[in-house]
Amino acid sequence: MNNLMIEVPEMEAKRIFEVEKIRADFPILQREVNGKPLVYLDNAATTQKPQTVIDNMIHYYTFENANIHRGLHFLSELATESYEKARLKVKEHINAMSVAEIIFVRGATEAINLIATSFCRGGFYKAGDEIIVTQMEHHANIVPWQILSQKKDIKLRVIPINEKGEIIFEEFEKLISDKTKLVSVVHTSNALGTINPVYDIVRVAHKHNIPVLLDGAQAIVHNKIDVQKLDCDFYVFSGHKLYGPTGIGVLYGKAHILNSMPPYQGGGDMIRTVCFEGSTFDDLPHKFEAGTPNIVGGIGLGAAIDYLNQFDFEDISRHEKELLNYATQKLQEIPGLKIIGTAENKASVLSFTIKDIHPYDIGTIIDTHGIAIRTGHHCTQPTMKYFNVPATARASFAIYNTKQEVDKLFAGLLKVKKMFG
Ligand code: PMP
């Protein structure tokens, strides 16, 4: 090569976003349910898995299975390498500073319980301290703090929402006081689809030196997350909502905070030395990963991240936004249908009720047409209470859904209406 030429690193070409080809990557989408092609619109509960995730997990059990971090034999080293590679993929995917900041857990729920338990044990709270959450939290970001409050007399302060399902930001600012120890809010609501103004929340909380935990269980699949840009102190999510397996999730935390926190569980793999007089603990991330972890889960999550990274996230967001807009417009044509959650900034989650028809009936009837939606309170009872409904029906869209599927949902709902006269 002419040494005057500057070598330009090749940009990795992204895969063209072609929904039919994407659908072919997900074997379950080829099956029928109740004699009809499956229309899977329950992605906010869990997403389907591409073949590559399934293959990577089978490959691990077929060729690499061994316990990690322990044996000095070939397979153990191979398994350790695959598991730690997955951690690196997560670190790069969310742009954490280091792999030490990526703790593998069971899911978003366990991540929040880990923080709550460790903060409590570490004496981070005193009686009367407060944690700020929103009216639209998942139970996973309410109950762990209530359990903690039974030990420490801690209060939850709740940011109210408006009728669109958006937080009232001025009220958030009013809730902050010198008693506030943590702001813990959902990034994207699973019940309403609302995307919260997390940059502003972090900015305001940090002005008062209050750390921020973001529950990214829903956001992680719709948007490219950059924890350094967000500057949040914790970010949690579950692998199974990101086209990965169940039983694996991530707690991201800033290293200096994680370092100051005591371990969550004790046991093998998280220690440096153990004797009966006491033990010393390993460095991050291992300090928080006691016992044999979900090795195959980590590997599956790494494969899911690789799968997603073939695409430009802009294409994913555009596709999902188009589906949301199309479905919103279409469903509103149905007399008596009311959309719950109409925030300006919204992810592809569509909750609704139909006058005089219980959501459970809606779900059960359209299931007979092979259409899977979720009905219930979506683990957000306080949100349901605010909207004065016991439950909603919810369609949530993913990378592989199509407008034809929205049409089938529409037709299915018309049939429900007809059945109820
Ligand atoms: N937070 C939100 C916003 C969620 O949607 C969910 C799952 N529905 C969770 C937390 C809990 O996730 P997991 O059950 O995977 O731990």
314-358 pLDDT tens trace = 999 999 999 999 999 999 999 999 999 999 999 999 999 999 999
Q: What is the pLDDT of residue 10?
A: 57
Q: Which of 188, 220, 238 to mutate to test the pocket of ligand 1 (most atoms within 8 A of CB)?
A: 238
**88-to-81, 94, 98, 177 alpha-carbon distances in Å:** 10, 10, 8, 38
Side chain identity at residue 279, one-letter code = S
Q: Which of 47, 141, 190, 374 is the best mutation target for the ligand 1 pocket, counting ligand atoms within 8 Å of the beta carbon and taking the most?
A: 190
Distance 8 CA to ligand 1 centre (A): 42
* CA 321 to chain CA centroid, nearest Å: 18
Residues catalogued as catalytic: 379
State whether the beta carbon of 196 lies less than 6 angstroms from ligand 1.
no
Least confident range of 115-129, 160-174, 175-189 = 115-129
Looking at residue 108, its pLDDT comes to 98
Query: What are 142's two structure tokens?
Result: 């309410």
Q: What is the pLDDT of residue 401?
A: 98
Beta carbon of 305 within 6 Å of any ligand 1 atom: no
Determine whether the shortest distance from the Cβ of 109 to ligand 1 is under 6 A: yes
Q: What is the pLDDT of residues 255-294, one digit of tens each?
A: 999 999 999 999 998 999 999 999 999 999 999 999 999 9
**Quick one: pLDDT band at residue 3, thresholds 50, 70, 90?**
very low
Indicate whether 87 pLDDT > 90: yes
pLDDT tens digits for range 229-253: 999 999 999 999 999 999 999 999 9
* Average pLDDT, integer, range 295-321: 97
**DSSP for residue 141:** G
187 lines ligand 1 (CB under 6 A): no
Q: Express each pLDDT in 362-421 by its tens digit.
A: 999 999 999 999 999 999 999 999 999 999 999 999 999 999 999 999 999 999 999 997
Q: Is the pLDDT of residue 2 over 50?
A: no
User: 383 with 389: CB under 8 angstroms?
Assistant: no
Cα of 109 to ligand 1 centre, how many Å?
6
Residue 131 CA to ligand 1 center (angstroms) comes to 19
Write the DSSP assignment of 294-331 as a string of letters: -HHHHHHHHHHHHHHTTS-HHHHHHHHHHHHHHHHHHH
Is the CB of 327 within 6 Å of ligand 1? no
Q: Are 94 and 221 in contact (CB under 8 A)?
A: no
Distance 299 CA to ligand 1 centre (A): 21
d(CA 273, CA 265): 16
Residue 4: pLDDT above 90? Answer: no
- The CATH fold assigned to 61-308 is Aspartate Aminotransferase; domain 2 (3.40.640)
Cα dihedral sign, 368-373-378-383:
negative
Q: Which fold has domain 19-44+312-419?
A: Aspartate Aminotransferase, domain 1 (3.90.1150)
Choose among 250, 281, 276: nearest CA to 264.
281
* d(CA 17, ligand 1 centre) in Å: 27
CB distance 244 to 307 below 8 Å: no
Q: Where are the domains of the chain?
A: 19-44+312-419, 61-308
- Which atom in ligand 1 lies closest to the alpha carbon of residue 189? 3
Name the pLDDT band for 42 (thresholds 50, 70, 90).
very high
Higher pLDDT, 217 or 2: 217
**Domains 19-44+312-419 and 61-308 fall in the same CATH topology:** no
Q: Is 226 within 8 Å of 247 (Cβ atoms)?
A: no
- What are the phi and psi torsion angles at 101 (to 5°)? -90, 0
* Residues 130-153 pLDDT 10s: 999 999 999 999 999 999 888 888
Looking at residue 11, its pLDDT comes to 62
pLDDT over 60 at 18, yes or no:
yes
pLDDT tens track for 172-205: 999 999 999 999 999 999 999 999 999 999 999 9
Q: Return d(Cα 361, Cα 416) in angstroms, integer.
A: 8
**9 has pLDDT over 80:** no
